[in-house]
Amino acid sequence: MWVAFLRGLNVGGHRLTNDELAAVFAGIGLTDAAPYQASGNVVFRADGRTAKGLESDIAAGMLERFGYEAPTLVRSGEEVRTLAEAEPFGAEAVEASAGKMQVMLLAKKPSSKTAASVLASVPDDEFARFDDRALFWLPAAGILDSAFDFAAAERLLGVTTMRTQGTLQRLTKKFLRP
């Protein structure tokens, strides 16, 4: 199983139904496509293909069918399960926070210099930690209330998309049981 995380769906005037999104996946030869939460999360099967190849094919399929680019990050089911189960800051910090754990998926692992620059911009009352191609971030409250500069982080990190860890946990429970 694979999971695609598309950025920019159902925002900014781009409105797709789950059926329309699943049709893009079927059209490029992917099977059992199951969109989750109408927000650019799609679980699917693809034998003999790589994550990078899938990212390119899905983005090209979106451009061809709908006329706009949808940056896409693909993870294996096991990678998503690992992100969903991660406890990067400990239960006590999570329970003390009024915010929800965020997982920023990255196209590639950042250099140590880039990671240090991003981490330096996280407010003192919040937690952040990189783990390969993801940034775990625990805001002190809602993400819109944070002083963390997403735009600056994305300029440094390249293609990203963010989901709550709760979304990854629910997706895992529904589709990615071991």
Same domain for 64 and 94?
no
Question: Mean of the pLDDT values across residues 63-88?
Answer: 93
Which of the listed residues 29, 55, 75 is the one where a domain comes to its end? Answer: 75
Please classify residue 16 by burial: count the beta carbons closer than 10 Å to its beta carbon, then call 0-12 exposed, 13-18 middle and 19+ buried.
Answer: buried
As a whole number, mean pLDDT of residues 150-176 equals 93
Identify the CATH number of the domain in which residue 59 sits. 3.30.70.1280
Please report the DSSP string for 45-69 in residue order. E-TT--HHHHHHHHHHHHHHHHSS-
Domain boundary among 57, 75, 93: 75
How many residues in total does the chain contain?
178
Same domain, residue pair 90 and 165 = yes
54 and 97 co-located in one domain: no
Give the range among 93-97, 118-122, 123-127, 170-174 with minimum mean pLDDT.
93-97
Q: Which of 75, 96, 114 is the last residue before a domain boundary?
A: 75
> Rounded to the nearest 10 degrees, what angle do helices 150-157 and 112-120 cross at?
180
Give the separation between CA 15 and CA 38, rounded to whole angstroms: 9
pLDDT value at residue 119: 97
Other C-beta atoms lying within 10 Å of the C-beta of residue 100: 16
The region of weakest confidence among 6-20, 30-44, 79-93, 107-121 is 6-20
Q: Average pLDDT, whole number, for the chain? A: 92
pLDDT one-digit tens code per residue, 144-161: 899 999 889 999 999 899
Q: Are residues 61 and 6 in the same domain?
A: yes
Residue 86: which region, alpha, beta or left (left: phi > 0; alpha: psi -120 to 50)? Answer: beta
pLDDT at 19 over 80: yes
Instruction: With a cut of 90, say whether residue 103 has pLDDT above it.
Output: yes
Same domain, 37 and 22: yes
> Same domain, yes or no, for 61 and 97?
no
**Same domain membership, residue 61 and residue 100:** no
pLDDT of residue 68 exceeding 90: no
Residues 25 and 64 in one domain: yes
My answer on whether 51 and 99 are in the same domain is no
Domain containing 24 equals 2-75
Q: How confident is the model at residue 10 (pLDDT cuts 50, 70, 90)?
A: low
pLDDT exceeds 70 at position 14: no
Number of domain units in the chain: 2
Rounded distance, CA 161 to CA 7, Å? Answer: 6
Average pLDDT over residues 90-107: 92
* pTM, entire model: 0.92
- Residue 38 has what pLDDT? 79
Type of residue at 14: H
Same domain, residue pair 119 and 139: yes
Distance CA 105, CA 168 (A): 11
Question: Could you tell me the pLDDT band of residue 8, with boundaries at 50, 70 and 90?
Answer: confident
- Taking CA 74 as the corner, what is the angle to CA 56 and CA 50, rounded to the nearest 5 degrees? 65
Cα–Cα distance list, 86 to 8, 63, 134 (Å): 25, 34, 11
